[in-house]
Structure 1
């Protein structure tokens, strides 16, 4: 699955000369938490988000009572930047210009990792220098909901095939179980072996549960394999 498969294409944008009040109203009435900022030619200039609107003098949320020692260590440029964020009237003075973008062919897994690493909620999708979509955290969650369920293993595949798939799902992980400790009978996976930590046990169980054809997973940790 790629960006083009899940992105929002009905994009609401802001202009750099849009007032902060207008931008805030647009986001509220459109039910969005951020907008790309583009110029007249459609070139991406930045992003304006709810986070940029959090500390504003108009509503009394500016940084008024910061500890004196923070002002001592803050540079003049940092204090000046904070003042602009709290008092600027137009989007161009408030928007974030350090923008991360992706292309339409970017894998969804890479986008999820990018959002987490950069601690952002959305990323513009670009084509030929223009914004053609937005992928947000909510898009990723919708993709999870709408994914087609995995096709269960056919009856002909049998318990041996299910066992091999369970072992393959754990292969390469440090918490993987030994082959002899995984037994499958009538689609029920029995996990035998030594006592393991809670997290390791959960990982083993989830790997087995996600294997097509598995009806149930029964853990017998702390017991020797059944004879």
Structure 2
């Protein structure tokens, strides 16, 4: 969307991509937390908040990337075209800017899970969405851990061909679950969940952090992905080492297509 600038020419109104955190619960139901980063307020806001702002213009759906954005002139005057996507237009003569905001490269459509989700369901989600890891969040959407494909494989290796089981106790007066002879007892397999396999220490970054900070933190901690959180600690995105590499390659002038995978 364009509008007339101060000199009478057309001026591109910035588009701010809407981020969505998909939280899968133990019952399989999925809730979505949709937010957009406001560079003027320097914090996340809901779409409803944006629509009530006097700077709001419209919602725009991009058919190519299949993303929805808020068309809003909320960029600070000194930022120029900072809100445009530099990964699609930079050339070899443009220097790499490590202070570029993390929001430019992070994945804004995030799959999150609750700690009660089973190992089988985690595996199914990793395969369905072609991702290698995802944040584990509490009821408010704040990260409490990270689970990766390596965690799932490690748990499967430790479990082997046999599963842990727990003995089922029958209280006095209750009917036995099965009609068994004396000396036998009933066992149920122990349910392995995200809580059992996740890495409980969460290394995270605020959405206002820079790409330089993300690259340094991932290298220092030896991790490949970081949840990105808002002021209230809720997950609004995720950045991976591949996102940083892809951004660097584009800044160097290489034609790197948009990734279909979430990281």
TM-score of the aligned structures, taking structure 2 as reference length? 0.44
Does the Cα contact within 8 Å between 2:205 and 2:226 map onto a contact in 1?
A: yes
- Which stretches of structure 1, 4 residues or longer, exceed 3 Å deviation after superposition? 57-60
Residue pair 2:205, 2:227 contacting (<8 A) in 1 also: yes
- State the partner residue of 1:141: 245
State the Cα RMSD in Å.
Answer: 2.2
Q: Number of paired residues?
A: 125
Contact kept? 1:112, 1:140, Cα under 8 Å: yes
In proportion to residue count, which structure has more strand? 2
User: Does residue 11 of structure 1 match 2:114?
Assistant: no
User: Between Structure 1 and Structure 2, whose CA radius of gyration is higher?
Assistant: 1
Counterpart contact for 2:151–2:197, Cα < 8 Å:
yes
| Paired position in structure 2 for 1:131 | 235
1:8–1:43: structure 2 CA closer, same or farther, 3 Å change rule? same
Distance 2:160 2:243 in 1: 31
Change (3 A) 1:25 1:59: farther
Deviation of 1:38 after TM superposition, in Å, equals 1.1
- Structure with greater proportional helix content: 1
**Alignment partner of 1:121 out of 224, 240, 256:** 224
Distance across 1 between alignment mates of 2:140 and 2:234 = 9
Alpha-carbon separation, structure 2, partners of 1:88 and 1:117: 34
Deviations 1:37-73 (A, max 9, x none): 112221211111112122224445xxxxxxxxxxxxx
Give the deviation of 1:36 after TM superposition. Answer: 0.5
Choose the corresponding residue for 1:96, options 185, 192, 199. 199
- Give the Cα–Cα distance (whole angstroms) in 1 for the partners of residues 134 and 191 of structure 2: 17
Corresponding residue SS for 1:54: helix
TM-score, scaled to structure 1 = 0.51
Distance in 2, matches of 1:25 and 1:41, equals: 24
Structure 1 residue 9 displacement after superposition: 0.7
How far apart, CA to CA, are the structure 1 residues paired with 2:160 and 2:244? 33
The answer for the alignment partner of 2:145 in structure 1 is 46
Which structure 2 segments of 5+ residues have no match?
A: 1-99, 162-189, 254-263
Deviation at 1:146, TM superposition (A): 2.6
Contact preservation (8 Å) 1:88, 1:94: no
Greater RCO, CA 8 A, separation 6+: 2
Q: Distance in 1 between matches of 2:119 and 2:208?
A: 33
Q: Secondary structure at the match of 1:12?
A: strand
